[in-house]
């Protein structure tokens, strides 16, 4: 089973994070799949947009914490894993293609960071978005602490980052 499904429908490349049993958490294999799909979509002239979604009930609940825990003993490997996620996020943000995020269920922590690297977000009415890093004594590692203030403003970003508050889809739309 592939952890990322890539298809092209008409002029839209669709990247589906396919780890519903793990709430579509972001493992290194998922980041690699997103990176490969982005490169493929940018190399195809017929592709005019990239859509990222999650399989199952949730968009993405952040980093694969089991994988991160396994890397804690190897600082270089942990830093490389975090840097790779940051690099892929930057490539999404800089893509020549419009990057559309289709959010259902939860988009938390690294999942929110992934959402923030897109150009357009469509969220189901029942979607919830939030940053959970503070709850665990962590900081966003994939660009969320830079992107969030640019999108929602500094005060709102600090509130979300410090309180680990979740937003409904409607609240997120109002925030920006």
- Position 133 scores a pLDDT of 92
- Position 21 scores a pLDDT of 98
Cβ neighbours around 66 below 10 Å, total:
10
Strand partners, 14: 7, 51
CA distance 89 to 78: 17
- Position 53 scores a pLDDT of 99
What domains are defined for the chain? 4-175 (3.90.226.10)
Which stretches in the chain have pLDDT values below 50? none
Convert the chain into a string of H (helix), E (strand) and C (coil).
CCCEEEEEECCEEEEEECCHHHCCCECHHHHHHHHHHHHHHHHCCCCCEEEEEECCCCCECCECHHHHHHHCCCHHHHHHHHHHHHHHHHHHHHCCCCEEEEECCEEECHHHHHHHCCCEEEECCCCEEECCHHHHCCCCCCCHHHHHHHHHCHHHHHHHHHHCCEEEHHHHHHHC
- Position 10 scores a pLDDT of 98
Q: Residue 6, by phi and psi: left (phi above 0), alpha (psi -120 to 50) or beta? A: beta
- Position 145 scores a pLDDT of 94
């Amino acid at each position: 089973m592939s952890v990322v499904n890539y298809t092209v429908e008409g002029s839209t490349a669709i990247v589906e994070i396919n780890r519903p049993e793990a709430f579509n958490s972001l493992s290194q294999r998922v980041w690699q799949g997103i990176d490969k799909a982005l490169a493929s979509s940018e190399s195809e002239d017929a592709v005019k947009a990239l859509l990222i979604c999650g399989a199952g009930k949730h968009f993405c609940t952040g980093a694969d914490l089991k994988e991160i825990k396994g890397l804690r003993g190897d600082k270089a490997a942990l830093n490389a894993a975090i840097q790779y996620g940051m690099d892929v996020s930057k490539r999404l943000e800089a893509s020549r293609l419009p990057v559309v995020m289709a959010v259902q269920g939860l988009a938390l922590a690294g999942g929110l960071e992934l959402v923030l690297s897109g150009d357009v977000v469509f969220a189901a009415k029942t979607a919830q978005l939030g940053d959970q890093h503070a709850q665990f004594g962590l900081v966003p590692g994939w660009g969320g602490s830079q992107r969030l203030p640019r999108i929602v403003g500094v005060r709102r970003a600090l509130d979300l980052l410090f309180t680990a508050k979740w937003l409904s889809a409607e609240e997120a739309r109002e925030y920006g």
